[in-house]
Amino acid sequence: MEFEVFDLGLTGFEEALRFQKELFSRVKAGALNGALVLCSHHPVITTGRRAKAGAILVSDIELERRGIPVYQTERGGEVTYHGPGQLTLYPVINLGRLKKDIRYFLRELEGSAIDMLSELGIKGSRRGRLTGVWVEGRKVASIGIAVRNWITFHGMSINIKKDDLSNFRLIRPCGMDIRMTSVETVSGRSIDMAQVGAMLTDGLKKRFSTVN
Amino acid sequence: MTNVILPELGEGIIKATISYWYFKEGDKVNEKDDLVELATDKATFNLPSPCAGVLSQIAFKEGDEVNVGEVLAAIE
């Protein structure tokens, strides 16, 4: 199944979510096959439906001082951080036309990140029953999605830049004591976000062209 | 009476948690109205009403876990 790609660059979280919902309506109406939104965000903390009290480790005042807003969202999962050093992918895909299987879709997102890492010479892997991608025991990609009428939104964020990890200390990512890493940290070199975005886009195009 | 059943959601997904009911018992619903939002580990999803009628019974409350194939609600 083909999808259109929208590269928004550095975008506010709310703006990107509004855009996804517009795309969602177009996909639902049959006016658009599917879409992939690529962007990064100004620092923001978001919570999913599973977020528990205490997942954010600092006070509202401290977050305000740092200029980091918190958004409660309709996605699955717990709490996460997004920032300018991350590449965030929001696929708006009609699983009704692909495969009505939420687990399949999550595995394909993880698979696209693992393939991208492999192209960069990095071994990424899944970890047991947990969703996401790990490198050397640290998490590099996080996933939380919403599905309405079998059309997806929200998605996956991948830590790319090594200098945008410290804000994860403000939260318990995914409600667990997880240590985060970035593609730059594990590769030991500078990584171009646009290049990674192109690799992930190609990977997802291949993955969604046929159903396994 | 039409039963609203938790459908197959994907390989290996055997249950989901009710996050939110959009209606309460006794409410009138239209076909395709979102009845309930459910959540698995990393995904939320909606269940639309299979028909128009009155939501006569809600079998699980918000926060409850439901198995695939179980009846969530009834519409008369």
ipTM of the modeled complex: 0.94
- pLDDT tens, position by position, A73-130: 999 999 999 999 999 999 999 999 999 999 999 999 999 999 999 999 999 999 988 8
- Rounded Cα gap, residues A161 and A152, in angstroms: 27
The sign of the torsion formed by the CA atoms of B54, B60, B63, B68 equals negative
User: Which residue of B34, B40, B44 to mutate against A (max A Cβ within 10 Å)?
Assistant: B44
Q: Look at A131 and B41 and tell me if their CB atoms are within 8 Å.
A: yes
SS3 B18: strand
Cα separation of A53 and A73, whole Å? 15
| Beta-carbon separation of B39 and A50 below 8 A | yes
Task: Tell me, yes or no, if the pTM score tops 0.90.
Answer: yes
Assigned token pair, A60: 């509202």
Residues 6+ apart with CB under 8 A from B60: B18, B66, B72
Could you read off the pLDDT of B11-46 as tens digits, one per residue? 999 999 999 999 999 999 999 999 999 999 899 999
DSSP B61: -
Residue A50 has a pLDDT of 87
Q: Is A39 a catalytic residue?
A: no
Alpha-helical (H) ranges within chain A are 13-28, 60-66, 102-119, 183-187, 193-209
Q: What pLDDT does residue A81 have?
A: 96
Give B54-69 pLDDT, tens digit per residue: 999 999 999 999 999 9
Residue ranges in chain A whose pLDDT is less than 50: none
Burial of A123 per CB tally in 10 Å (0-12, 13-18, 19+)? exposed
Provide the percentage of residues in chain A whose pLDDT is more than 90: 91
Instruction: Give A48's contacts in chain B (Cβ within 8 Å).
Output: 42, 44
pLDDT of residue A212: 56
Q: What is the pLDDT of residue A196?
A: 98
Contacts of B1 (CB under 8 A, 6+ apart): B56, B74, B75, B76
